[in-house]
Structure 1
Amino acid sequence: MRIILPILALALVAGCSSTKDLAESLNTRQNAGACPPVGSVYDAARIVEFRDGSDELYSDIRYTGEITDVRSFCRYTGDNPLTAELEIDFAFGKGPLADANTHDFGYWVAVTRRNGKVLAKEFYTVTAQFDGNSPLDGATQTIDRITIPRADETIAGTNFEILVGFDLSEQELEFNRAGKRFRMDAGS
């Protein structure tokens, strides 16, 4: 017993030391400030695809899409760049003129300064998969890594924004700006 206790005590002290070293190596300090605000741009948060030459009637809808939620998880310490992971929730609808059970929607993710200046913009695609005769679908996309360089440790995440929107044609953008909308799940 006299031999076991000193060995056990030594193992505990060594364990604490290695745990402390591990925590320091993972740099577990808190963020230098808050994460950047994230969200979808109102005018680009939904898309209604009509038949070409349509009068914007319900009977002319091919597909619809809506960005329903955007979440981010970020990390930065010292003067390291800010890194963020983004999750985007989508809802999709298949209209009367849909011609397939899958449909690709283009969207973008932009990093801006709070004054609106775009620092970076990347384009992505999300695919709606309509099972059977279901006119509705949803998806969550994850953007694994967004890196925002910071000049120094005094620059907090709140100096930036991460914005998301559908890649719209001029006509689709005008439709949204006019406040028009169709939702395939209305009345459900």
Structure 2
Amino acid sequence: MPLLRPAFALMLIAGLGLAACSGNRDNTRPPPCPRVGILGDANKGVQYRPGPGRDLTDVTFETELLDYNGDCRYEDRRAVVIVRFILQVAATRGPAATQDEAQVPYFIAVVDKQQNVLAREDFVARIPFEPGRRRVVVGEELEQYIPLAGRHTSELEILIGLVLDRDQLEKNRRDRGF
């Protein structure tokens, strides 16, 4: 059974971080939501047309994960946390773009404090371009079911990143000064 269920929605979302958790059945305060973060090394990508060229004239789309906004709730006596959020994904058409839709592959992973991947799933954001539009931002609605298996949410983190090849990842690291 997949841990994530995507639903596509075109909308621009404002705000940062996750709101406080809801679904409190008793008078005790629920645990906090798991931390969510966009990986700095995997938040931007450049897609090129097929072939060896890698200059500006070969760019089909520049893509970016911008932000997220959401909340969480607990079920099954706090044995499962359900995290819902909307991820902003942007694409900018490049000079080599011939398609009317950018396909932006990204992943969501749940990791523990030692950064061990407990679950990971890949997605593709489909970003349609109307004639004359150069940049489009969409909101990807996601819902993640995380069985806690005795863990506290402070021991878990949800990481989001673009699916990049080695060259793209190294370029991002160089651009960030690593």
TM range, normalised to the smaller chain? 0.7 to 0.9
2:96 is aligned with 1:93: no
- Give TM-score, length-normalised by structure 1: 0.73
User: Is 1:82 matched up with 2:78?
Assistant: no
Q: Which amino acid aligns with 1:69?
A: D
Q: TM-score, normalised by structure 2?
A: 0.77
1:110-154, Cα deviation, whole Å (9 max, x unpaired)? 01112211000011110111111211111000113x1222233xx
Count of aligned positions = 151
8 A Cα contact 1:49 1:172, kept in partner: no
Point out the structure with the larger strand share: 2
Deviation sequence 1:54-98 (CA, Å, 0-9, x none): 34x322211011000022311126442111112100111000000
Q: How does 1:103-182 map to 2 (within 5 A)?
A: 103-144=102-143, 146-152=144-150, 155-179=151-175
Q: Structure 1 vs Structure 2: percent identity of aligned residues?
A: 26
What is the root-mean-square deviation in Å for CA atoms of aligned residues? Answer: 1.9
Tell me the amino acid that sits aligned with residue 37 of structure 1: R
* Residue identity matched to 1:147: Y
Runs of 4+ aligned residues of structure 1 deviating over 6 Å after TM superposition are none
Identify unmatched segments of 5+ residues in structure 2.
Answer: 1-22
Question: Comparing both chains, which one has the higher relative contact order based on Cα–Cα distances under 8 Å and sequence gaps of 6 or more?
Answer: 2
Question: Per the alignment, in what secondary structure is the counterpart of residue 76 of structure 1?
Answer: strand
Which one has the largest radius of gyration?
Answer: 1
Q: Secondary structure at the match of 1:132?
A: coil
CA contact (8 A) 2:91 2:102 kept: no
Structure 1 gaps of 5+ residues are: 1-25, 181-188
Residues 98, 122 of structure 1: alpha-carbon distance in 2 compared, 3 angstrom cutoff? same
Residues 113 and 72 of structure 1: CA distance in aligned 2, closer, same or farther (over 3 Å): farther
**TM-superposed deviation, 1:28:** 2.7
